[in-house]
């Protein structure tokens, strides 16, 4: 892939460039949010590794704007803090995944590879699903309510919807979503799935407090709203 690294710490930025280049990727790097926004809009880039705290324009705002410009672009956010609120904010701004500093090189590469695999799935014909007056285009990572409202989805949100739809005859556990969408261990203790689903509901549900598309199955996980 061609990856854009956005990190203001020169030592870490150079380390990320070396690590990703050694893994076989083509890598460019910038040090501030304004440069990230300008370069990230280029369709030549396949993935963005984005720091949360940046000069000129913070990572959250960069993520929000790029999600509108390029809804299909996978975004991996880096944060120096492990607070749940930071993770929620990153996911709600449109990030597909996040890594908390300090992170291991193997973990970072595994998450990059997982995002690469999901992007590779985009070569299939777009799958458009209509449910509860919402039209979801999984290929283009957008949803619509009415002809005027287009809602950008992250690659991970689209992957969740695709998996639930493909297995709509049954409930899907959080562990299964972690394994199939995040490519992480199903035994991992995390609220990442719940936070991502909550954000997704805010986007596509008519009433997020009473979801009809992604429904909760008590003591199991989630299911598609219509079998």
Indicate whether 144 and 56 sit together in one domain: no
Indicate whether 176 and 113 sit together in one domain: no
Yes or no: say if 21 and 2 are a contact pair by the CB < 8 Å rule.
no
- CATH of residue 218: 1.10.10.10
Indicate whether 59 and 137 sit together in one domain: no
92-111: pLDDT as tens digits: 788 888 888 888 888 899 88
> What are the strands, taking DSSP E only, across the chain?
2-6, 26-30, 47-51, 75-79, 97-100, 128-131, 134-137, 142-145, 149-152, 172-173, 214-217, 221-224
User: Which is it for strands 221-224 and 214-217: parallel, antiparallel or unpaired?
Assistant: antiparallel
Q: Please state, rounded to an integer, the average pLDDT across all residues of the chain.
A: 86
- CATH of residue 56: 3.40.50.2300
Indicate whether 36 and 145 sit together in one domain: no
Yes or no: say if 95 and 152 are a contact pair by the CB < 8 Å rule.
no
Yes or no: say if 177 and 193 are a contact pair by the CB < 8 Å rule.
yes
Dist CA 62 CA 47 (whole Å) = 14
Indicate whether 83 and 25 sit together in one domain: yes
Does this model's pTM top 0.75? My answer is no
- Domain-ending residue, one of 91, 121, 151: 121
Dist CA 5 CA 207 (whole Å) = 37
Indicate whether 98 and 202 sit together in one domain: no
Q: Please say if the pLDDT value at position 36 is more than 90.
A: yes
Yes or no: say if 32 and 62 are a contact pair by the CB < 8 Å rule.
no
Indicate whether 12 and 112 sit together in one domain: yes
Q: Please say if the pLDDT value at position 33 is more than 70.
A: yes
pLDDT value at residue 27:
95
Q: Please say if the pLDDT value at position 227 is more than 70.
A: no
Indicate whether 28 and 73 sit together in one domain: yes
Q: How many folded domains does the chain comprise?
A: 2
145-163: pLDDT as tens digits: 876 678 999 888 998 999 9
CA distance between the termini of the chain: 37
- Domain-ending residue, one of 102, 121, 140: 121
């Amino acid at each position: 892939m061609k990856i854009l690294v956005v990190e203001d710490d020169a030592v870490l930025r150079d380390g990320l460039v070396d690590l990703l280049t050694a893994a076989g990727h083509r890598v460019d790097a910038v040090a501030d949010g304004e440069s990230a926004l300008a370069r990230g809009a280029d369709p030549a880039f396949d993935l963005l590794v984005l720091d949360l705290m940046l000069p000129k324009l913070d990572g959250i705002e960069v993520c929000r704007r790029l999600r509108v410009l390029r809804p299909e672009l996978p975004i991996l956010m880096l944060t120096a803090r492990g607070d749940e609120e930071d993770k929620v904010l990153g996911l709600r701004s449109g990030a597909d995944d996040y890594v908390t500093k300090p992170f291991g090189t193997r973990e970072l590469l595994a998450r990059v590879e997982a995002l690469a695999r999901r992007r590779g799935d985009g070569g299939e014909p777009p799958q458009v699903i209509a449910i509860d007056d919402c039209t979801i285009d999984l290929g283009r990572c957008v949803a619509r309510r009415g002809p005027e409202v287009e809602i950008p989805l992250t690659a991970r949100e689209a992957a969740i919807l695709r998996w639930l739809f493909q297995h709509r005859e049954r409930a899907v556990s959080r562990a299964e979503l972690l394994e199939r969408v995040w490519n992480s261990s199903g035994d991992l203790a995390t609220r990442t799935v719940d936070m991502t689903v909550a954000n997704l509901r805010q986007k596509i549900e008519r009433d997020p407090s009473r979801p009809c598309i992604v429904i909760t199955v008590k003591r199991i996980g989630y299911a598609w709203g219509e079998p």
